[in-house]
Amino acid sequence: DSGSFLIFNENHNKCIRVESATSITVAQCDPHSKEQQFRWASESRVLSLNLQLCLAATDITDWVKVVLFECDESSPLQHWECKNDTLFGLKDRDLHLNWGNRNERNIMVYKGSGLWSRWRIYGTKNDLCSKGYQEIFTLEGNAFGAPCQFPFKFNSKWYAECTMDGRSDKQLWCATEKDYDIKKKWGFCPTEGTSGWDTDPVTGVEYQRNAQSVLSWHQARKSCQQQGADLLSIVELHEQSYISGLTAFLGTSLWIGLNNLDFETGWQWSNGSPFRYLNWAPGHPSSQPGLNCATLNVGKASKWEKQQLQQKTGLHLPQGKLYSTATATQRGGGLTTCVRRRLDTSVRRRHPLDPVRACTRKPVQAANLYENAFLVSYVGLRPEKYFWTGLSNTADKQVFTWTTRRKVSFTNFNVGMPDRKQGCVAMTTGVFAGLWDVVSCSNKEKYICKKPAEGVDVTTVPPTTAPLSCASGWTPISNRNTCLKIFKKSQQLKKTWNEALDFCRAIGGDLLSLHSSKDLHNARFSLPGSAWIGFSLSASKGFVWSDGSASEYENWSYGEPNNHNDDEHCTEIIAQKYWNDRHCDSYNDWICQIRKGTTPKPEPVKVLEVYNTTEDGWIIYNTTQYFINNNKLDMESARVFCRKNFGDLVIITGESERKFLWKTARKSNFQQSSLSEQTENCNFFTCIFQQISRSKEGQYYIGMTLNLDKSFSWVDGSPVTFTAWEANEPNFANNDENCVTMYQNMGYWNDINCGSELPSICKRSSDFANTTVAPTVVPIGGCPPEWEAFQGKVRVNKDIQIHLLIQNASSAISLSIGFLFFTQCYKFVVGNNKNWQDARSHCIYHRGNLVSILNQREEAFLTTQMVKYNEDWWIGMSDINWEMHFTWTDGKGISYTNWAKGQPSSGPSGRFSDRELYDCVMMFGGTSKRMGLWKVEDCYSKRAFICKKNVAVAQKMNWDEARRQCQADDADVASILNPYIQAHLTLQISKYNEPVWIGLNTNVTGGRYKWVDGWRLSFTKWDTNEPKRNYGCVYMDVDRKWKTASCTDNHYSLCKRSPDVAPSEPPQLPGSCPESTKRRTWIPFRGYCYSFLNSMTDNWAHASVDCIKMGIVILHYCFYFRYANFIRLFIIIIIITQMCALGAALVSIEDPQESVFIHENLELFQDSSKTFWIGLYKTHEGEWMWIDNSVVDYTNWESQMPNSEACVAISSETGQWATTSCSRYRSYICKKAK
């Protein structure tokens, strides 16, 4: 064993010898004696090779025996370290290994540091740590590259090194945890053999793809070196292409050997290969600090990206590592190196500088489209991929030049080119013949030479004419026969990109094109803002200039173009230099260009479209009327305004209507004192545009609201078929943003607290009825116990009993019917003080919110109630979202305040505090003279609080009360075990047309849906997108579908009495899992085996079929039918699942314990693989089903899930589920019975 050593004391001239686990002494040194051999193990432990036990002190104190214990990486008694001058002892302790003091025969731990406490490796001058433990990183297996744990226990036997025991293929392996038999985590040990390597047939270089490892950069490199290799270095285009093909099926990123860990030398390959070929992804290498190593992103055309060296990555889900060998390997009796690169001399390819030397004149220059087409006619059908041209940007990344020094007047770049790439330009052949790519100058390609034709007369130079000049007000562009002019306009006269383009062309020019950093050197104009230039995104050619000139120069600002909201396709110049992509319909200044000597034509005058208005000032657009209400109101008041005028807050149904509204908000900057000054046929911009522009808030209420479950809906109940959220919206800040506004600048939407006072947009039909709206009738009602009524009364309840005969079993079902109405109810919560956030959550849980105080009368009512208690109270006001802009958390408008003297303030005593959050409002109580006044306080301080319920209708009882009522009658909340019971109940309770509680509540059944009377859920009638996340209780709705709700909701109840007893849960199944293979490993849990396919990605349907195939060992009559039609394939999957009962399936998750097990195994992949397919899907009837036909009795949805998509993925970060498109490619989890 090369890692073993003898522990030698020079003063005694003896070595430590193990006689037994409890007797460790010294003897004459014998390198062949197993009793004297030790080696380092993981976690700073020293292992005896004789007994496979670890060296340990019996206590952390002076003068105790050193013995051998079963190895425990967590025990500080077994952690050792080397100190100064060969001193050796317990780690981080002043206790040292000693022999010879006090005539003690055994090795001891001693505080002394003399010669008898100094040890080194026998036969050397080195201390014991010179043969320190080197982690051995595993390959494949199911430990995802984790290092071997030495020693480890397997089948009650300890192993200090890799073993072949237990494997039929005789491959060396190790466990990655102390006791293999507990979690069965393992991997193969690295060797320098040839198994598992792919050889490039052209170059002879060998590569290994390890798709089962999740390692940092240094760990990945160490794993390579343990196999006599190194991390991948890519030195030429062929190698890049080969690697791309080798890893194409994997998916995302993998470590390569590129790094800049040495600041002085810059980027370099870890194995010393020359850094002569580049393939950086756009935006890389960035200047962001801390990103010192590189990955190859398979999902982005194998481009290179900077990454943190501690980030755990590799080959996709979880990401492993890729590396090339760097040593010689014995084959067929002779030595051949696996790093030898051979050039096929039958194909004449050259470095781009070689054509310069080989051509008698110069490499080809395509001066125009016709010459380019001529070249295509010669080489377009050639088998080679590229032919060199004489164009490159090697001197300046931003400027392309010909080797002839001729001006670049024509380019024909391929889609996505040049895209910040630096290199040499080659002409493509085949399908893309004639298009130009920027490739590495180190590539070997064929080439074309160009020289003047012989015998052709040279055109005589024409006589010199006077130089052309620019018209008045125009500025010449450096070294170009062009002039420019910036058109800087007031807000209402700015133009969209297309309007600016039309303007420039109308005066005889075009929008400005730029071809060098020197173009603007002579342009002495002030541009503090931004202006349009002629660069825009073409669907087929990338960014192109509107004047048709070559796109050889770019000067984007940092991080641009970013295509914000996937809607920025035009370019503006900012800060007089850099470029930014922007929405083409934004309004901006612009810059025109025109040829020198040309006199600009008269500027066009735009004829503005005229919009009619109604007598009361509403704008008519597409038979619909709109009104911009510039009065700043809260959302409720804004809606009242609209409804008084026979409309409502605007419902936006499509992109054209949204554009109409946001252009209205953005365009005009006119000022007008009142709506009465408008004329019947006012100009469009001077009507609706100027109405909106009067507001400085930049946001306008529209008719959308957000619900507590974070879904959104229109106020008129119409379906939501169109949305236009701003990026990162809705964000539900502080969980009290329940209304929606439209931003003025671009028309995208934002969620906001409904109490914010803002302008709004009303909309009404052109045929509205001009009649008075009937006043709303407030229903009579009352408050629950412990709630104080304000303007409330109680209505009496009644109960009706129904008896059913179900399948010869007498079951009594009780349907309780009754209503409680109330207007406003208040609960004063004392003795359970909470911080502001927790107090609000408590109120919401009880179907209310922290109190909002809307008028002096309500304040007076609360003050009279507070006299009973000597407390200060949290109320529902805060400025958490916007400093010193206070809102009610229930969304009510600020119509009344009662601040104490000196309030509101942003901190204690009016001073700002960075240690506390002074954003929440309390109300003084007790008998203080300040009782009823308000003050801003630290949100985290704990106080009593007041909850408030607004006008609502409450049913008879919540779920818990319903069950207590049933149990009091020797029954339980009803279980519905089959379609017959469901149908019978449908007939019996349909006449009451009200929801009823049934016996499902995950809060009392361990987090899964199971009947509370003990029966398993074998029949379901879930509604679409049910069961929902975070709602434990279930009711049968009026449509007889099952739906989840908060258990504090009040509904009628169904009670059931039955003599039948539910069976107990079946025991766990015995059995074993299949033997793991190179690409698939199985992990046992209870009665099943699980395989986490982290290195494979596919759509849901193909993943389902792959699970079926991989789980079948003996069954031969299951087939994989690949259909082009996805729906037919989906049906076939279900059929195959039934046939292949012995196979596996996409995983079904039946209870919280199984969910925890799966999440624990997925957590390793958070850095690289965010989601995995599971076997849950939605049928065409909207019902959720597991693909293995397990009953859906447990769910773990993410927030706002499920949505309309039909397939489900689990998050490796949270373990929660989300619906997603079935056609997306993801990793997946397979499951089969033992």
Based on the fold, state whether residues 652 and 756 are members of the same structural domain.
yes
pLDDT band of residue 309 (cuts 50, 70, 90) is low
Predicted confidence (pLDDT) per residue in 744-802, tens digit: 877 889 999 888 889 999 998 877 644 333 333 333 345 777 777 775 333 222 233 33
Helix axes 1100-1110, 1126-1139, angle to 10 degrees: 20
The residue out of 176, 191, 206 marking a domain boundary is 191
How far is 956 from 1189, CA to CA, in rounded Å?
A: 37
- DSSP string for residues in 279-316: -BPTT-S---TT--EEEEEGGGTTEEEEE-TTS-BSSS
Both 662 and 756 in one domain: the answer is yes
What's the length of the chain? 1234
* Mean pLDDT on 157-167: 88
558-576 average pLDDT score: 84
- 997 located within any domain: yes
Q: With contact defined as beta carbons under 8 Å apart, do 76 and 114 qualify? A: no
pLDDT digits (tens, 9 = 90+) for 449-462: 888 777 666 555 55
The answer to whether 233 touches 223, Cβ cutoff 8 Å, is no
Q: What is the CATH number of the domain that holds 78?
A: 2.80.10.50
Residues 272 and 406 in one domain: no
HSE, side-chain direction, 13 A CA sphere, residue 888: 22
Long-range CB contacts (within 8 A, 24+) of 89-93: 89/117, 90/57, 90/60, 91/44, 93/60
Would the pLDDT of 308 be above 90?
Answer: no
How far apart CA 974 and CA 813 sit, in angstroms, is 8
Query: Which tens digits make up the pLDDT trace of 173-196?
Result: 999 988 898 889 999 888 877 677
Give me the mean pLDDT over the 892-909 stretch. Answer: 81
Least confident of 138-147, 201-210, 359-368: 359-368
- 414 and 441 together in one domain: yes
Sort strands 819-822 and 952-955 into parallel, antiparallel or unpaired: antiparallel
For residues 1025 and 923, membership in a common domain is answered with: no
Assess whether 114 and 145 both reside in one domain: no
- pLDDT, one tens digit per residue, over 48-85 is 988 889 999 989 989 899 999 888 888 899 998 888 77
- The DSSP output letter for 955 is E
- The CATH number that applies at residue 156 is 2.10.10.10
Contact between 436 and 414 (Cβ < 8 Å): yes
What phi and psi, each to the nearest 5 degrees, are found at residue 1097?
-130, 145
pLDDT category at 503 given cuts 50, 70, 90 is very high
Q: Is 224 helix (H, G, I), strand (E, B) or coil?
A: helix
DSSP string, 558-624: TT----GGG---EEEEETTTEEEEE-TTS-BEEEEEEETTPPPPPPP---PPB--B-TTSPEEETTE
- Does some domain include residue 703? yes
Which CATH number goes with the domain that contains 312?
Answer: 3.10.100.10
Q: Is residue 331 part of a domain?
A: no
* Paired strand residues for 580: 572
Q: Which among 595, 627, 653 is the end of a domain? A: 595
**DSSP per residue over 808-849, as a string?**
TEEEEEEEEE-EEEESEEEEEEEEEEE-HHHHHHHHHHTT-E
Total-model pTM = 0.37
Asked if residues 159 and 167 have their Cβ atoms less than 8 Å apart, the reply is no
Helix (H, G, I), strand (E, B) or coil at 89: strand
Mean model confidence pLDDT for the chain:
79
Q: Quick check: 1149 and 1112 in contact, CB under 8 A?
A: no
Find tokens 């509107």 and name the residue: 546
Please report the pLDDT score of residue 771 as a whole number: 35
Res. 1055: pLDDT tops 90 = no
Burial 509-534 (b: 16+ CB within 10 A, else e): bbbbbbbbeebbeebeeebeebbbbb
Q: What is the pLDDT of residue 911?
A: 43
Number of folded domains in the chain?
Answer: 9
Tokens standing for 280?
A: 């950086």
Asked if the structure places residue 1004 within a domain, the reply is yes
Structure tokens at 316: 């996709």
Angle at 238 between CA 235 and CA 240, to 5 degrees: 65
Q: 462 lies in a domain?
A: no
Between 1076 and 642, the higher pLDDT residue: 642
In a domain, 611, yes or no: no
CA distance linking residue 753 with residue 938, whole number of Å: 21
Of all residues in the chain, what percent carry a pLDDT higher than 70?
A: 80
| Beta strand spans in 354-419 (E) | 362-363, 386-396, 399-402
Token digits of residue 870: 């000597």
* Whether residue 164 sits in one domain with residue 81: no
Task: With respect to residue 809, please indicate whether it lies within any of the assigned structural domains.
Answer: no
Establish if 354 belongs to a structural domain. Answer: no
Check: CB of residue 87 under 8 Å from CB of residue 129: no
> Tokens 């929008």, residue?
511
Q: Give the separation between CA 565 and CA 585, rounded to whole angstroms.
A: 14
264 and 248 inside one domain = yes
* Predicted local confidence at residue 1068, as pLDDT: 59
Whole-angstrom CA distances from 798 to 65, 813, 820, 1229 are 81, 16, 11, 53
pLDDT confidence tier of residue 666, bands split at 50, 70 and 90: low
Mark whether 924 and 827 lie in a shared domain. Answer: yes
Say whether both 121 and 155 belong to one domain: no
In this prediction, residue 539 carries a pLDDT of 78
Bond before 462 cis per omega within 30 degrees: no
Are residues 1157 and 1088 part of one domain?
A: yes
- Looking at the predicted structure, is the pLDDT value of residue 527 above 80? no
Contacts 24+ apart (CB under 8 A), 177-182: 177/149, 177/152, 178/71, 178/72, 178/73, 178/149, 178/151, 178/152, 178/153, 179/152, 179/153, 180/152, 180/153, 180/154, 181/153, 181/154, 181/155
Residue matched to tokens 């619909």: 624
Rounded (5°) CA angle 1107-1111-1117: 100
Higher-pLDDT residue of 317 and 765 is 765
Task: Kindly give, in sequence order, each residue whose CB lies less than 8 Å from that of residue 39, ignoring residues fewer than 6 positions away.
Answer: 1, 3, 4, 5, 46, 47, 49, 131, 133, 160
pLDDT of 517 > 50? The answer is: yes
Predicted pLDDT at 26: 92
Domain, as residue range, for 249: 198-320
Question: How many of the other CB atoms lie within 10 Å of CB of 486?
Answer: 18
Do 627 and 747 fall into the same domain?
yes
Rounded Cα distance, 481 and 459, in Å: 22
Residue 328 has pLDDT above 70, yes or no: no
Lowest mean pLDDT among 379-383, 428-432, 681-685: 681-685
Cβ atoms within 10 Å, residue 345: 7
709-718, 953-962, 1123-1132: least confident range: 1123-1132
Q: How far apart are CA 1214 and CA 1159, in angstroms?
A: 7
Q: Which pLDDT does position 768 carry in this prediction? A: 65
| Cα distance between residue 919 and residue 41, in whole Å | 55
Amino acid at 717: G
